Amino acid sequence: SKWFVEQRGRAIGLASIGVSMAGILLPVVATWYVDEFGWRATWRVMALGVVMLGFPAAAIMRRTPEDYGMHPDGKSESQMASGGGARAMADFANSFTRRQAIRTQALYVLIVTFGLGSLGLMTIIVLSIPYLTDSGFSRGTAAIMLSILAIPAGVSKPVWGWMADVWSERLSTSLSFIMNAVAMVIIVLAAQTQATLMLAIGFFVVGWGIGGQIPLQETIWASYFGRRYIGAVRSVAMPFTMLIAASGPILVATYFDTFGNYDVAMFGIGAAWAVASLLILVAQRPRLPESAEVSPAA
């Protein structure tokens, strides 16, 4: 978000493909490993993988281009001097501080919107295998469905990023949530009728919709509040977003323990995505106080 402005959506979309890559193979491999060696050993291996990959990746991460004498969008010094970086400069100058952001309605609408969106995402990832096995599918089939989800989730990320850049961030986000809501209906009906092909279609559709979660969310936060203080702004929003998201699997599991099935709860997840698709439409871009605002031509 801090390195790109003009093509922010496309850049984040491409960069986030890796998030879905592990999802293509990991569910199948992890399911096999759990069956062979147990869930404790599986978690130890995955934890070791996080350490081995996470620390080297963190070591090469860079905060902002300006820290290294560079400019957003790969602009040269001459391009910036000639006005080619006006949009990036305005984005920086018009950034909201944390104090300014918490006074806007948009902050709270986005917290609830992406909290509900992440609630569905977390539930699908955590509970798909127990849900499908309880519905009569094998563990192997359930793991394959998660892999089917991961493929379009990865492929669609650059598409969603491109749509955010050339069409509309809000409309693209609403569309992704609508796709997820429709897909949940397909998945529940397929699970009830043991329709494997229909189930695969549902997971493919929800995967395509989920693919927009990272590029669209990150693009909207940076576009609405600017890149200069985006870390501080997100530090206010993210704890609440994650709290809402974490409640999804807990609520669905509690419903199952109480009533003995997942169906109504899974329909509820679809309803949460439907509500999020409407909320994002009312999340208008906030305006800085006039005394703090800088025009793109400044």
Supply the pTM of this predicted model.
0.85
Residue 83, SS3 per DSSP: coil
- Residues 126 and 23: their CA atoms lie apart, in Å, by 12
pLDDT one-digit tens code per residue, 126-163? 999 999 999 999 988 998 999 899 899 999 999 999 99
Q: What is the mean pLDDT of residues 285-293?
A: 71
Q: Is the pLDDT of residue 49 over 80?
A: yes
More confident position, 258 or 296: 258
* Between 157 and 76, the higher pLDDT residue: 157
pLDDT per residue as tens digits for the range 188-220: 999 999 999 999 999 999 999 999 999 999 999
| pLDDT-derived band at 174, boundaries 50, 70, 90 | very high
Q: Mean pLDDT over all residues of the chain?
A: 88
Q: At what angle do helices 8-15 and 213-225 cross, to 10 degrees?
A: 140
Query: 180 pLDDT exceeds 60?
Result: yes
What distances in angstroms separate CA 235 from CA 111, 199, 214, 231, one per listed residue?
11, 37, 16, 6
d(CA 178, CA 184): 10
Spell out the domains of the chain, with CATH numbers in brackets.
Answer: 8-61+95-285 (1.20.1250.20)
Least confident of 175-184, 226-235, 250-259: 226-235
Local confidence band at 89 (pLDDT 50, 70, 90 cut-offs): confident
